[in-house]
Every structure is written in C-alpha cells, then in structure tokens.
Chain A
Amino acid sequence: MALARINGVRIVGIASAVPDQARYPDEFFDRFGEQEVKKITESIGVKKRYIAASGICASDLCVAAANRLFDEGKWERESIDTVIFISQSADYVVPFTAGLIQKRLGLTTGCAAFDVNLGCSGYVYGLWMASSFITGGGMQRVLLLAGDTSTTVSIEDRSVAMLFGDAGTATIVEQTKKEGEYTFVLGTDGRGAQNMIIPAGRCRKPSSATTRVRREDENGNRRSEEEVYMNGAEIFAFTLAEVPKMVQQVLAASGKTLETIDYVVLHQANKFLIEYLAKRMKIPSDKVPLSLDEYGNTHSASIPVTMTHCLREQLSRKKMDLLMGGFGIGYSWGAVNCTVGEIVMPEMIFLSSDGVGKENIL
C-alpha cells in the first residue's frame, strides 16, 4: 500500500463540463431489443449521458471548465505553475495535450505541463500529484484537468455501448497553511490490464486493416481490436477485493470513521457496483452521491462531475470531510480523505460544439 500524508494544500475550485448533446438508452432499442436495453439500463443506472460530436476532444471540455474557473475565481492565469492533464483520449498521438492546453488557456510559458494516462483512478492520482508538487516540489498553484471522450467504444458491444459519458473537469489546488491533512492511499495491479483494454492501435500491436475490423465475441458483442474491451465480471471481482480494503486503509491512516465523513464520492463505475460496494462497506446510501444516472461513467472525470452535480451548493458554502475513491482500468486505485469546501464551484457547463475546435488549436 502506498500511503501519503500531505499537509499544506487546498482545493480552491472545481468546474465540470459536458458536451450539450444528451443521449438516451432508447437509441439502442433497435440494435439490442427494448427489453435487453431496459435490463442493462436498470443494472448500470445510466439513464442519460452526454456524448461529444466527432472532433470534440476531452481537452475542449477541460479547457471550457478551466476558463469558467478563471472567470469565476480570482486567480490570475499566470499564477498557474503546473498543468496536469489526465486523460485516455489525447488530442493527438504526439505531442502531449497539456502543452496545447497551456497555449489555449493563455498560461505562462514558465509553467510545467504534462499528460498522464490514467482512467477511473485518475482524479485521486491527480490530486496526489498536485499536492505532492506543492508540498515537495515548490509549486504554488496546480491546474488539474481530468476528462475523457468515448471515441473508442463500439456501439455494437452492449457491455460498454450504453455506459460511458464524456466530460472534462478542472480543479485548482494551491498552497495553504490553513487546511488539514490530505491522506492518500494508492495501489496498482497490472495483472488486470487485460480486463479493460484497447488491444491494438499503438506500439504493441499497430493499427492494421485486421485490427480495424469488428468481430463478434462469444457473448454476441461486436468490436474491433481498436475499441475498448471490458470484462465486467473480472472488474467487479477486483473492485470487491480492493475497494473496501482501500477505504479501510485510508480511514485507518486518517483516524476517521465512516460516521464522521460527510460524503464518500466514488468513481461512477456503474450503479449496481456502487450500491453493492456501499452496502458491503455499510455506508448509508445518502452519503454516496450518484451522478451516473445523468452523466454515465465519465472515467477520471466522474468524481468531480459528481461533486458538481450533487454537492455543488454545499461545497460552495461550507467545508466538508470527503472521502474520494477511484478504481478501475490498469488495475489502478486510489482514495483520499480531505476537507473540501468554501470553494469556487460553477454550475455544470454544457458546452456547445459550435465554435469548439474552430479556434487555432495548433
């Protein structure tokens, strides 16, 4: 177990953005049958989600969220000294996306910027990195961007077709002397890599005519090797093995109990899994906010999206003791216990595709 106790940092603003195009499960009635779609929807809990138009990137959503934070907060853009872009859907294979974001946001060329390829655990990892750079690396104010778009999901694969939504988020973390400890627990198990993977299209298995063809698997789902494969049963088993342990570890390290935590904000994997985990860990359901009915599983953005959707009003006006937990692809997992509140927290941004990408990105 990787355990980090960090003092001297504070989240000061969180903003979340989704594309303005809502999608509903009924679009799959013809493909999978109405009864099957309703059964899947009942289990995964995704009644609505937002999917970006072709060519709209995770970075566009993150940039919109960051711009709103700069508009509503009092921070000068030139005060950002680090940009972390956490995403599995970069603008280009190369170069990295955070560099383009530095330019688009008008940040100083004196800032450090880089991408991190993480999914469901990414937001917690991002907070850990941001906090560590501030307390151990001399940075003052970090812009943490987390977001993904679902461009590599086969609509003919019912195990993933109706689950994911697109979102981009921006969080500002800065140095402070006032806030309490941020307690992190982080973990990795690469044995689970094969259970959520896009097998082809990069160095290990380059794109070819063969890897681009959709083929039917033993469950009747069709996808190519350049589209995401998810073994739901294996991921579920992993989650049961690691998430309760991770939550116990972070509580033990911070000396807290579930009774004193205001909210447990979990990665919005799917409704069945979150509700089962909450029941297993004996967390009252009203302490586990859900946003996936409205936004789907938004990968690394799901924790801030849930905070924006469910806790915005409270987090804007008061400090609360939160436990955030991310887990999934990799396998990778992380939890943090921290106090968050009295922060700049704009309403959910619904980004129109008009004009996006027409700016001079390169």
Chain B
Amino acid sequence: MTRQEFIAKFETLVEVDPGTLTGDSLLGQDIHWDSMAIVGFIAMVDENMGFTPAPKDIVKSKTVNDLISIVSLGIKG
C-alpha cells in the first residue's frame, strides 16, 4: 500500500472528504478521533496490511504521520 492509498483509506474510515487530509492533519482536531475510530483503524490495518497495530502506540499518536509511522512496514514510497 502506498502512502496516498493509506491516506485515502483513512479518509474513508474517519468520514472526511477525499483529499482533505495530509500527514500533518491532527487527530482529535482535524479528525474525529475516539475509541471507535481507533478500533476502526486497527481493523483497517489488520485487513489491509495483515498485522494488528498496538493500541498503546495508536493512542500516543498526534498526527496522521504518526499513524503512518506505526504502520510504516506496510507502506511503500
């Protein structure tokens, strides 16, 4: 999965218009980020990248880039 594909999937997950998020978008500010969104994110990564990210790392994340670094092993380019 490329970085752009990841962001596009993430936009669908958090229900924002396509193309509105960047790596610097803030979780909880630009994006509605609650425990349901976190569970949805875990499922998204599990389904598309075949591993389960650790919730404690996700909770520490502040931006979309932070989430990308958690799943970086599955991101190309």
Residue of A nearest to B59 (CB): A233
A272 touching B39 in the complex, CB below 8 Å, given contacts A234-B55, A241-B52: yes
Number of interface residues of B (CB under 8 A): 17
Q: Tell whether, in the assembled complex, residue A240 and residue B46 are in contact, meaning their CB atoms are under 8 Å apart.
A: yes
> Which secondary structure dominates chain B's binding surface?
helix
CA gap between A43 and B36 in the complex, in Å? 8
Q: Tell whether, in the assembled complex, residue B36 and residue A40 are in contact, meaning their CB atoms are under 8 Å apart.
A: yes
B22-77 residues with Cβ-Cβ distance < 8 A to A are 34-36, 38-40, 42-43, 46-47, 52-56, 58-59
Q: Taking the complex as formed, is A159 at the interface, i.e. its CB lies under 8 A from any CB of chain B?
A: yes
Q: Taking the complex as formed, is A237 at the interface, i.e. its CB lies under 8 A from any CB of chain B?
A: yes
Chain A neighbourhood of B43, CB < 8 A: 236, 240, 272, 276
Residue of A nearest to B56 (CB): A234
Chain A neighbourhood of B36, CB < 8 A: 39-40, 43, 232, 272
Residue of A nearest to B38 (CB): A233
A233 touching B39 in the complex, CB below 8 Å, given contacts A219-B34, A240-B52: yes
Q: How far is the CB of B70 from chain A (nearest CB, A)?
A: 12
Interface centre among A43, A233, A272 (most CB of B within 10 A): A233
Q: Tell whether, in the assembled complex, residue B47 and residue A237 are in contact, meaning their CB atoms are under 8 Å apart.
A: no
Q: Which of A233, A237, A276 has a CB less than 8 Å from the CB of B35?
A: A233
Residue of A nearest to B41 (CB): A233
Q: Which of B46, B47, B55 has a CB less than 8 Å from the CB of A231?
A: B55
Chain A neighbourhood of B58, CB < 8 A: 233
Chain A neighbourhood of B35, CB < 8 A: 159, 219, 232-233
Chain B neighbourhood of A240, CB < 8 A: 42-43, 46, 52
Q: Tell whether, in the assembled complex, residue A232 and residue B39 are in contact, meaning their CB atoms are under 8 Å apart.
A: yes
Residue of B nearest to A241 (CB): B52
Chain A neighbourhood of B47, CB < 8 A: 280
Q: How far is the CB of B56 from chain A (nearest CB, A)?
A: 8
Please name 13 pairs of A and B residues whose Cβ atoms are closer than 8 Å in the assembled complex, sorted by A: A40-B36, A231-B55, A232-B36, A233-B38, A233-B55, A233-B58, A233-B59, A234-B55, A237-B52, A237-B53, A240-B43, A241-B52, A276-B43
Interface on A for B, CB 8 Å cutoff?
39-40, 43, 159, 219, 231-234, 236-237, 240-241, 272-273, 276, 280
Beyond contacts A237-B55, A240-B42: 9 other A-B pairs, Cβ-Cβ < 8 A, are: A43-B39, A219-B35, A233-B38, A234-B55, A234-B56, A236-B55, A237-B53, A237-B54, A241-B52
| In the A-B complex, the 9 residue pairs with the closest CB atoms | A233-B55, A233-B38, A232-B35, A234-B55, A236-B39, A240-B52, A237-B52, A43-B36, A276-B43
